[in-house]
Structure 1
Amino acid sequence: MRKEGRGHFTAALASAEFRAMWLAEALSQIGDQLARVALALLVFGRTNSALLTALTYALTFLPSLLGGLLLSGLGDRFPRRTVIVVTDVLRGCLAAAMAIPGLPLTVLWCLVGVLTLAGSPFKAAQMALLPDVLPEGRYQAGLGLRQVTMQTAQLAGFGLGGLLVTAIGPSWALLLNGGTFFVSALLVITGVHARPASRRDRASSGGEANVVRGRDPRIAIPFAVNCLLGLIVVPEGLAAPYAHEAGASVVMVGVLMMADPVGSVFGGWWAGRSSPPPTTRSAIVPMALAGLPLAGCAVTPGYVWPIVWWGLSGALATIALIRGQTVIVAVVPDARRATVLGRLNACLYTTQGIALVAAGAVADQLGPRGAVAASGALTTVLAIGAALVWRETRPEKRAAGGEARSAGPDRSVLTIAHDDSSPGSTRDGHPGAGA
């Protein structure tokens, strides 16, 4: 594996194609956050209903599950740059339509749902294209930079969204959001090279199907570890009752909610700057550690230390997320890359929703602090369980196909070598798979 440029954001930014994709995604992310603020204010201003406002906000997330399961494969059937551009243009038109004054709420909700649905093939195609854009030594650095940028854009979008919407009005803010999609499409058209559809290059095999269906432990374990992120976001959902229980002011609710995203920024920076060879253990260990700070909330009352714990947990979980995705990228065949990426994204949304609902029920019994501590402890236990499962399945995979290569005589982990002979490599020797 080449080492030049490994772990440095500047090395990832040296790729003109990556810069175009990076800027396009950051622009879309800021626009999305602005639109969520604008929609919330628009619907609440027209209906004065908290329920309808919450429903509108939920529609900016919920269709992602359906889209991830049903539409992510478009990035494998068609050229990925084409999928990115078409979905961006479609979302730009839908966002602009939402700015029409006096639009009935039912029509507005339909537009929001379809726009969110279209985001799934966009995300799958974009992440599937990323390993082709970045050489293997720069891929993890690129993921880290993306995470830092997206979390920063989310914070900036929410922080400045209220001021901007107040200044220009919800309709103009929605129109501005539509413009960000068109600019994003233009950046991708002008900055990213055209490539053929992946399925034209290689046919699907039974082994590839097993990978996509999660039957291959090489992908199943990192996939499961990444989905544990749903437990890590529990504190965000319980920030308001947690602050109330701790006797904190309303301002501290926002500070508590920002702790995990801020930690995620540092985690993305660390993962991008220090990128070890992609191994299953390099993903499991930080995820297991990410649960411990949350569990520590059980013995640290108040809200000062929990801010630190939540930020530390977010940083470790982000490191695990990036490293786990790097492992998956090295295993999944190129012809299935977008499908697996989309399903991973859908599972992340699903586990987060389930975890938040379950945590709310637990908080009614144990209190918010107990629920947060329980989510952390469960994260660590499940991550350790995944490690034990991996230790049992790895020797079988080595004996069956010789595809899992030991990282050393004392390391029971999977190390993927990025070369032309690996199962998921492309013709140019770059990682040929992703998730």
Structure 2
Amino acid sequence: MRAVLAQPDFRRLWTARTVSQWGDVFSFVALAILIYRLTGSGLGVAGVVVAEIVPVLLLAPLAGVVVDRLPRVQVMVAADLVRAFFAGVLVVWHDDPLVLYAVAFGLSAGAVFFNPAANSVLPSIVSDREVVAANSATWTAAVLSQIVLAPLSGGLVALVGPGWAFGLNSASFVVSALALHGLRPAEPPREVGRRRLLADAREGVALVGGDRLLRALAIGQLLAALSAGATSALLVVLAAEHLGAPPNAYGILVGAIGVGAALGPTLLLRLIPDPRRPLFVFGPYVLRGLIDLVLASVRSLPVAAAALAVYGLGTSTGAVTFNSLLQSHVTERTRGRVFALMDLLWQAGRLVSLGVGGLVADTLGVRAVYYFGGVLLLLAAVIGFAAARAAGTVGPEQ
């Protein structure tokens, strides 16, 4: 990580993503507190989640094409400026739930374009052997930001109100855009031609559907979202109803996940020279699936916290290896569409999982949610390993 952070171009990208992540943490906490105050219901808070997911479902196919057609740094800068505007609206106008939902929609719409562009441009500014370290540095900074800033932001919102948090978020996007403005990746010229957007989008879907490894990664992404959407949202219910834990236990469990997630990339780099292999992408699904089964079975808070630390480790290492394998396996010309499609699958699965998970918890109990979640993750691993073996994929070069 130190080696890639010493490179000016990557440092610009890392700074842009990390600073905007700081603003996102403050804004996320302030938005959740504020919408609950205004609506007084969990359904109102869930509405923010829906407002964040819907833009991905609507815009991801278009975003992937735009990222592959236009200079990616310009796409990221434009997305940052759009998000700075939406976040700035809440500085002066945050007393109407409809405005909050609209801004959540706008911020998510900007991220739909920014995230595939950022993931696609990274291999253009670091060498192939540095891709894993670069993804690890980005992931670690994001997790540490959340661990440190989320508790701080909650206290500050209670003391001085939410407006300042939205102002910080708006300013963070401006700083991100300024950092990216000087980034000059080695990108080949774009061949826009006269092809239609829909044809380009279909090409991306066909690429994923026709490549055995990409198809397995897509299926794994969807199954993982169907699992994690419900299990992450219902962790507070598991703590109260199954573990019989005190009110502050939920914070302990979330903190345990954060600790494991922060340690994961560092351990990955120290123990494995190049983890861009299906084993290290689908292996964490096995780990997380087993943890879900453990959580549904045990009633000890310390055991659950320790298990969730391991779950966080599996989540972070899986995310780093997933992105790194995609960046190495997919050509530069289609990378944006592939990442956008993976985002689409993740958010679609998450939305379905939130709805179905709530029904399962109400009818069969919260333990059933975690049993089903564990089975889905284990199924994702089985499909992934089978596809990788059939394709003969043993390393990123294949």
TM-score for both structures, normalised by structure 1: 0.81
1:215 alignment partner, one of 210, 233, 252: 210
Q: Which range moved further: 23-32 or 287-296?
A: 287-296
CA distance in 2: counterparts of 1:205 and 1:353, whole angstroms: 26
Alignment of structure 1 residues 26-425 onto 2, 5 Å: 26-101=18-93, 104-190=96-182, 192-193=183-184, 199-200=190-191, 209=204, 212-230=207-225, 231-232=227-228, 234-245=230-241, 246-273=243-270, 274-276=272-274, 278-392=276-390, 394=391, 412-417=392-397
Q: Which range moved further: 286-295 or 245-254?
A: 286-295
Note the C-alpha offset of 1:63.
2.3
AA of the residue aligned to 2:338: V
Q: Which range moved further: 167-176 or 9-18?
A: 167-176
Q: Secondary structure at the match of 1:415?
A: coil
CA distance in 2: counterparts of 1:123 and 1:206, whole angstroms: 17
Note the C-alpha offset of 1:47.
4.7
AA of the residue aligned to 1:257: V
Note the C-alpha offset of 1:168.
3.3
Note the C-alpha offset of 1:378.
2.9
Q: Is the 8 A contact 1:42 1:170 kept in 2?
A: yes
Q: Which range moved further: 296-305 or 306-315?
A: 296-305
The corresponding residue for 1:5 is none
In structure 2, relative to structure 1, the CA distance for the partners of 1:206 and 1:37 (3 Å cut) is: closer
Note the C-alpha offset of 1:122.
0.7
Q: Is the 8 A contact 1:142 1:272 kept in 2?
A: no
Q: Which has the higher contact order (CA 8 A, sep 6+)?
A: 2
AA of the residue aligned to 1:264: A
Q: Is the 8 A contact 1:145 1:272 kept in 2?
A: no
AA of the residue aligned to 1:17: D
Q: Deviations over 1:57-113 (max 9, x none)?
A: 542444233232332322111111111111111111121122224665434432331
Q: Is the 8 A contact 1:73 1:121 kept in 2?
A: no
Q: Deviations over 1:322-372 (max 9, x none)?
A: 223222222212111111112212222222332333333333344323421
Q: Secondary structure at the match of 2:245?
A: coil
Percent of residue pairs bearing the same amino acid type: 25
More helix by share: 2
The runs of 5 or more residues in structure 1 that have no matched partner are 1-8, 395-411, 423-435
CA distance in 1: counterparts of 2:24 and 2:177, whole angstroms: 15
Q: Is the 8 A contact 1:151 1:261 kept in 2?
A: yes
Q: Is the 8 A contact 2:64 2:113 kept in 1?
A: yes
In structure 2, relative to structure 1, the CA distance for the partners of 1:346 and 1:154 (3 Å cut) is: farther
Note the C-alpha offset of 1:129.
0.5
Note the C-alpha offset of 1:177.
1.2
Note the C-alpha offset of 1:300.
2.2
AA of the residue aligned to 1:290: R
CA distance in 2: counterparts of 1:161 and 1:83, whole angstroms: 30
Q: Secondary structure at the match of 2:209?
A: coil
Q: Deviations over 1:397-420 (max 9, x none)?
A: xxxxxxxxxxxxxxx433233xxx
Note the C-alpha offset of 1:194.
5.4
In structure 2, relative to structure 1, the CA distance for the partners of 1:254 and 1:69 (3 Å cut) is: farther
AA of the residue aligned to 2:285: M
Count the aligned residue pairs: 391
AA of the residue aligned to 2:251: G
In structure 2, relative to structure 1, the CA distance for the partners of 1:306 and 1:120 (3 Å cut) is: same
Q: Secondary structure at the match of 1:247?
A: coil
CA distance in 2: counterparts of 1:171 and 1:289, whole angstroms: 41
Q: Deviations over 1:378-431 (max 9, x none)?
A: 311331133224433x2xxxxxxxxxxxxxxxxx433233xxxx8xxxxxxxxx
Q: Is the 8 A contact 1:128 1:337 kept in 2?
A: yes
Indicate the structure (1 or 2) with the bigger Cα radius of gyration.
1
TM-score for both structures, normalised by structure 2: 0.88
CA RMSD between the two structures? 2.9
Q: Which range moved further: 289-298 or 37-46?
A: 37-46
